[in-house]
């Protein structure tokens, strides 16, 4: 420990932190029959992993496509759909030796990048160039690459990156790893987690003596908060970024997951282009993923597929980006193929379309049902307030914790909501993540839960929460 990089010690990642480790220990004890817990299973609501939740099976089209790419003799079977066979042959035609086991171009397979560019162009109405697309091992890998480009070498006044609070822990962990300054701006919980421009100005002005502000991160739809930004809100953010010469990092991995009537996803690229000069010349990066966002209904987290699009990047900087990613050779070809399958689904009239349409409809309707249900259930509990889940796949309810419990937690050097969530796990078997792991406004306490468990299991989970919360208030008031 005396010799380890001190920045590594500062890295924290609550989604798989101490509470989750304890949940694994409890599961092992239950499996071995050596326990006296008042429950017989652990409900894992800490991470957005659709397949692991047991509530979702793989989409047939995607697995058939990947199977054909991995073991090409399968496509000779008469049972193999002809449209998927054509897609498999197209992808393998650009692989070295026509094998998914070969290295790809550093930016990724050209056919996949072409399909992504087409998807973006159809989504936004503006051209997208395959040479601007970079395939990566999940959106996380791309986000870290782009943040790395914005770092300087001045430990006394490092690069500053604006991140939302609450935020996905990837950002605070990455900035700690790189020695960057975290410029924290608070989302407005009382306004369904909207982004207030006055708050952006406050955060930026207070940071200038500590860092050189270089970029701003926006997560839309939100994680862990589940909000969907309005178009007007996005326009104001773009104007703010242009005013202060900030590089925009648009984390849009949940763009396919919007539930609340009236909420609609607008990409930052579209809004930036719609605004015209000078905004349509701004530099930005947008991120999408098969293993993070699209898992909202595809569920393919383990594939680690993702991409980012670099917009209006200086040509000399682009050369440096290409040099940087070439040092890693390429992202995993399996994840690239998965991204290709997700971004280019069966079209109406193709053999695989009807089954794909049905599976997609079933999954999405369940997610919408649970998004509506979860906030209703939490809001029915005394001392709990939960904003509507507009998008993504999480709820971030605010919980009241008695002062006596807060002081007890502090005496154990724990965040009050971490103490609360540990107790929740030990007494009910439900594993959630404390709000402190995502950062939150001082004096407030939250927890994050996914909306992925089956509906009946979610009802059980919230009823367990209701009983636990009332007992916790009685014990500590």
Residue 292: predicted pLDDT: 45
pLDDT tens for residues 304-324? 778 899 999 999 989 988 988
Q: What is the mean predicted confidence (pLDDT) over 145-158? A: 88
Dihedral angle sign, alpha carbons of residues 182, 389, 466, 464: negative
User: What is the rounded CA–CA span in Å between residue 52 and residue 452?
Assistant: 9
HSE (CB half, 13 Å, CA atoms) of 48?
Answer: 26
DSSP conformation letters of 119-138 = HHHHHHSS---GGGEEEEEH
pLDDT of residue 204: 96
> ∠467-435-421 over CA atoms, to 5°?
35
Share of the chain above pLDDT 70, in %: 92
Judge whether residue 252 has pLDDT over 90: no
Q: Strand pairing of 133-137 and 430-431?
A: unpaired
pLDDT above 70 for 428: yes
Angle, CA 442 vertex, CA 437 and CA 446 arms, to 5°: 45
Would you put residue 75 in left (φ > 0), alpha (ψ -120 to 50) or beta?
A: alpha
Out of 106-110, 222-226, 469-473, pick the least confident. 222-226
**In order of start, what are the domains of the chain with their CATH numbers?**
1-58+102-320+354-477 (3.40.640.10)
Which structure tokens are listed for 168? 């996905």
Q: What is the pLDDT of residue 260?
A: 67
pLDDT at 293: 39
Higher local confidence (pLDDT), 375 or 474: 474
Tell me the pLDDT band of 78, cut-offs 50, 70 and 90. Answer: confident
Query: How high is the mean pLDDT of the chain?
Result: 86
Q: Is the pLDDT of residue 289 over 90?
A: no
- Whether residue 154 has pLDDT greater than 80: yes
pTM: 0.84
Rounded CA-CA distance 135/43 in Å is 33
The distance of Cα 305 from the centroid of its chain, to the nearest Å, equals: 13
DSSP string, 423-449: HHHHHH-EE-EEGGGG---TT--BEEE
Res. 462: pLDDT tops 70: yes
Stronger pLDDT, 283 or 369, i.e. the higher one: 283
Give the residue-averaged pLDDT of 228-255: 92
CA dist 422 and 441 (Å) reads 21
pLDDT of 161 over the 50 cut: yes
242 pLDDT above the threshold of 50:
yes
pLDDT at 53 over 60: no
Segment 116-125, tens digit of pLDDT: 999 999 999 9
Dihedral angle sign, alpha carbons of residues 79, 84, 87, 88: negative
Residue 288 has pLDDT above 80, yes or no: yes
Which span out of 217-226, 268-277, 347-356 was modeled with the highest average pLDDT? 268-277
- Identify the band that residue 299 occupies on the pLDDT scale cut at 50, 70 and 90: low
Q: Which pLDDT belongs to residue 183?
A: 94
Q: What angle do CA 51, 259, 340 make, to 5 degrees?
A: 50
Give the pLDDT confidence score for residue 305 in this predicted structure. Answer: 79
Split at pLDDT 50, 70, 90, the class of 18 is confident
More confident residue, 31 or 5: 31
């Amino acid at each position: 420990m005396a010799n380890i990089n001190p920045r590594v010690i500062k890295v924290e990642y609550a989604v798989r932190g101490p509470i989750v480790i304890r949940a694994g220990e409890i599961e092992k004890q239950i499996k071995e029959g050596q326990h006296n817990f008042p429950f017989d299973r652990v409900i894992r609501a800490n991470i957005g992993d659709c397949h692991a939740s047991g509530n979702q099976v793989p989409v047939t089209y995607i697995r058939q496509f990947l199977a054909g790419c991995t073991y090409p003799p399968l496509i000779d079977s008469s049972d193999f759909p002809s449209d998927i066979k054509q897609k498999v042959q197209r992808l393998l035609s650009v692989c070295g030796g026509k094998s998914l086991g070969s290295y790809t171009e550093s930016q990724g397979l050209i056919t996949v990048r072409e399909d992504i560019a087409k998807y973006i162009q159809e989504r936004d109405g503006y051209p997208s160039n395959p040479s601007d697309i970079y395939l990566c091992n999940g959106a996380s890998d791309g986000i870290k690459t782009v943040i790395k480009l914005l770092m300087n070498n001045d430990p006394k006044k490092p690069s500053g990156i604006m991140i939302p609070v609450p935020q996905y822990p990837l950002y605070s962990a990455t900035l700690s790893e790189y020695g960057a300054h975290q410029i924290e701006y608070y989302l407005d919980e009382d306004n369904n987690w909207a982004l207030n421009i006055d708050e952006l100005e406050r955060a930026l002005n207070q940071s200038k003596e500590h860092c050189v502000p270089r970029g701003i991160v926006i997560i839309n739809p939100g994680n862990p908060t589940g909000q969907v930004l309005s178009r007007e809100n996005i326009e104001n953010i773009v104007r703010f970024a242009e005013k202060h010469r900030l590089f925009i990092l648009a984390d849009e991995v949940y763009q396919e997951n919007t539930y609340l009537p009236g909420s609609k996803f607008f990409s930052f690229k579209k809004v930036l282009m719609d605004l015209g000069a000078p905004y349509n010349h701004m530099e930005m990066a947008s991120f999408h993923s098969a293993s993070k966002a699209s898992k909202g209904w595809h569920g393919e987290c383990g594939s680690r597929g993702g991409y980012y699009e670099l917009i209006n990047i200086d040509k000399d900087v682009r050369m440096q980006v290409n040099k940087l990613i070439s040092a890693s050779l390429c992202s995993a070809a399996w994840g690239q193929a998965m991204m290709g399958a997700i971004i280019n689904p069966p079209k109406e009239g193709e053999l695989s379309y009807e089954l794909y349409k049905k599976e997609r409809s079933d999954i999405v309707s369940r997610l919408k049902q649970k998004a509506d249900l979860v906030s209703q259930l939490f809001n029915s509990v005394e001392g709990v307030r939960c904003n509507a889940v507009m998008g993504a796949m999480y709820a971030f309810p605010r919980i009241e914790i008695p002062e006596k419990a807060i002081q007890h937690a502090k005496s154990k050097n724990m965040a009050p909501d971490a103490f609360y969530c540990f107790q929740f796990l030990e007494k009910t078997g439900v594993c959630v993540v404390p709000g402190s792991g995502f950062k939150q406004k001082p004096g407030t306490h939250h927890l994050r839960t996914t909306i992925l468990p089956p509906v009946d299991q979610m009802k059980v989970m919230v009823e367990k929460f209701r009983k636990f919360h009332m007992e916790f208030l009685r014990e500590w008031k």
